[in-house]
Amino acid sequence: MARAATTTDAFNAVAEPRRRQILDLLAAGERPVNDLVVLLGLAQPQVSKHLRVLREVGLVQVRDVGRRRMYRLDPEPLKAIHDWLRPYDFAAEALAPAA
């Protein structure tokens, strides 16, 4: 069975660790692409490629402010992942150290 493209849904998009790092940074608030480049230590084309994937699945929104492109998290597509993980909460609780 062929693997789905990373641009088909949020599950596939967040499978890539760098994209999860970008989401973590954007969870703190809107950022210009150059900030993401510096914080991630990646080349601008690499960051832009990951942002494109995240935009295509709806996890990131972009707006132009003058010459800058500002990116922000749109958490709505993460709801599907959250809903899928909910039945496994018991397993996480079992692994948590006793208080």
Contact 42, 18 (CB under 8 A): yes
Q: Give, in order, the Cα–Cα distances in Å from 24 to each of 1, 7, 90, 92.
A: 31, 19, 25, 21
Per-residue pLDDT of the chain (99 residues; tens, 9 = 90+): 555 555 678 999 999 999 999 999 999 999 999 999 999 999 999 999 999 999 999 999 999 999 999 999 999 999 988 898 888 877 767 767 766
Report the alpha-carbon distance of residue 90 to residue 98 in Å, rounded. 14
pTM > 0.85: no
